Each structure stands twice: as C-alpha cells, then as structure tokens.
Amino acid sequence: MFRRRKFEIETHGLYPRDKVIVHDSAEHMMMTPKLRDLIEEEWQKKEARMVKREGLFFSGDLCRLNRYEVRENELHLFLGRTHFKELLGTNLSHPIIHKLLGEEYMSNGLGVRAAICTHDEKIIICQRSEKVMEAAGYYHLCGGYVKPSKHHRRGIPDPYLSMESYMEEELGISKESIRRLVCSGLAVNSETLKPELMFEAEIDLTFRKVLVNMAKAARDFTHSELFGIMAQKTSLRGFLVANKRKIAPTGQACLWIYGIEKGYWPEVRKGILKRYAERKLRRKADENRGRS
C-alpha cells in the first residue's frame, strides 16, 4: 500500500497535551562556509521568484527537531532552533545534504498538521494556493510550523499552541470551538526529510460554518479552496487512493494516521509496526558501527 511512499510514519498513537514533553535548547544545526553560501544563494533565488509572481513569502525563526523518543506513552521532543531560510536551503531544496554531510547539517524545522473533523463529520481538506512556497496547488491539511517566538508557554515551545493558532488563522476556528485536539504521531516527508507532528481534531462547527467564518475573516490566502470528505473508512480510503499524486506527503500521512487510530485499516498498522522494528534495528547497527 505504501509502495514508493512519499512519507514515513515515525510513530503514531494518541498523545494528549500533557504527554507531549518538550525538551528545549538553543542547539542549532551544524554549518560550514560553503553550506552557508548555498543557503543564502537558494534564499535569494526563491525570494526573487516569489516576488515576481506576487507569492506569499515567509521568513522567521523555527523550532528544529533534534530528535524524539517515545517513553511509556509519552512523546518526548528534543527541540533546538533554526530559521526558515535554513530550512529552504537544506530540506526543501537540497535534501542530498543529509547523505553528504549528515543529519546535523539539516535544518529539520518542525511542522504541525491536523485532520480536522467538523460537527457534521467531514474532514477538512485544503487546496493550497499557487502563491505559496510549499506544496503549491496540492491538497493538504491545516498546519504550519512551530515558531518559538510565537508558539510558547512560559518560554517553552508548545506544538499544541501552534496547531490551535493555525486553525484560527487559516480556517477561523477559535479555541473555544475545538472540542478535542490530540497529537497522533510524527511523520517525515521522504523527499525533503522535513518532520511534522500529526494531530487529529474535532470541532463544534459544521463544514458550512467553517466556510462562512473564512469568508467573513478573509484573513488567510494560504488556501484557494476548501472541501470536506466524510469521516468514514470507505470515503477516506477512496480519497487517499484516488488522489495520492495530488495530496502533499505529510497530508497523506496525517490522513492515514487518522484512519489507523480510528481502527479503519488494521493491516496498515501491522505494516507500520514492522517498519518501526526494521528502523530500530538499523539505528542500533549504526550506533554499534559508530562505537567500533
């Protein structure tokens, strides 16, 4: 089912707010003079392209995912700092750096993404605007990045606060309208190696009300269109299979995880557990080689 998949599900499970533990630091990616020049060159090229087509251009600090651990039903995130410029110059433009220099030379800016189910049981699908920098024109889910200067509690980055913020900014869904929000795992884009935290949410608004709220607010131009698919096994699987080339990789991952957690396809869960075990063995072998 995941042949030639464009994403890797690192872990899945339901991690409430108090079970997502953030270990914050000022740790930064490694840098060389040549890499710094490459990042700056890529930034200038992309900026010129976006200005030419009047696109949406983001610049700012991000949280870097240094590593993660799952301990007794808790998801521990070890975060550092990076910048969108570094993410653009490494993960989004030159992921080969991971093979040439190693993971410590990658930005690995941490994103967030949510499968949002409305009161009338529709999952909100967004079509990305052609003016955005990432996944332009693709189907995707609401989300963005963990920004340390904006999404924090008492100075500690808070991925939940980040997800709530994007639901408000992109879809006009206030915090009071969110009935349930829970982290459902972590996935990585297989092409760019960019990590994203997955969420699932239930809201008290109907899909139509979300559309009305967006029209009234007119505050976000990230998406050109919204539509809803029924939060049912057949509808969700049909959408994923029919549109696998049109859905952004981590959007696919988030929807598959949503179905897994709802018990829609136990055979997928078995495949993921098998890959967990394989990756664990590879990492252990790599560590042993590093010590020898």
How far is Cα 139 from Cα 254, in angstroms, rounded to an integer?
Answer: 12
pLDDT tens per residue, the chain (292 residues)? 444 479 999 999 999 999 999 999 999 999 999 999 999 999 999 888 887 776 767 789 999 999 999 998 999 999 999 999 999 999 999 999 999 999 999 999 999 999 999 999 999 999 998 888 889 899 999 999 999 999 999 999 999 999 999 999 999 999 999 999 999 999 999 999 999 999 999 999 999 999 998 877 655 578 888 999 999 999 999 999 999 999 999 999 999 999 999 998 777 766 666 666 666 666 666 666 655 5
Query: Has this prediction a pTM greater than 0.95?
Result: no
From 144, 110, 127, 114, select the one nearest 255 (Cα to Cα). Answer: 114
pLDDT recorded at residue 5: 73
**Dihedral angle sign, alpha carbons of residues 23, 150, 190, 250:** positive
Specify burial of residue 246 (Cβ count, 10 A radius: 0-12, 13-18, 19+). middle
Record the tokens describing residue 34, joined without a space: 């040549």
How far is Cα 155 from Cα 137, in angstroms, rounded to an integer?
Answer: 35
Q: How many CA atoms lie within 13 A of 182 on its CB side?
A: 14
Q: Which residues pair with 25 in a beta bridge?
A: none
Question: Which residues, other chains included, contact 23 with Cβ-Cβ below 8 Å and sequence gap of 6+?
Answer: 76, 77, 78, 79
CB 87 within 8 A of CB 170: no
pLDDT recorded at residue 1: 41
| Residue with token string 């108090």 | 18
From 29, 17, 33, 32, select the one nearest 62 (Cα to Cα). Answer: 29
CB 157 within 8 A of CB 242: no
Helices (H), the chain: 33-52, 84-89, 97-100, 159-171, 207-217, 233-242, 249-261, 266-291
- CATH, domain range 7-291: 3.90.79.10
pLDDT recorded at residue 131: 84
3-state secondary structure of 229: strand
Q: At what angle do helices 207-217 and 159-171 cross, to 10 degrees?
A: 80
Helices (H), 172-230: 207-217
pLDDT recorded at residue 213: 86
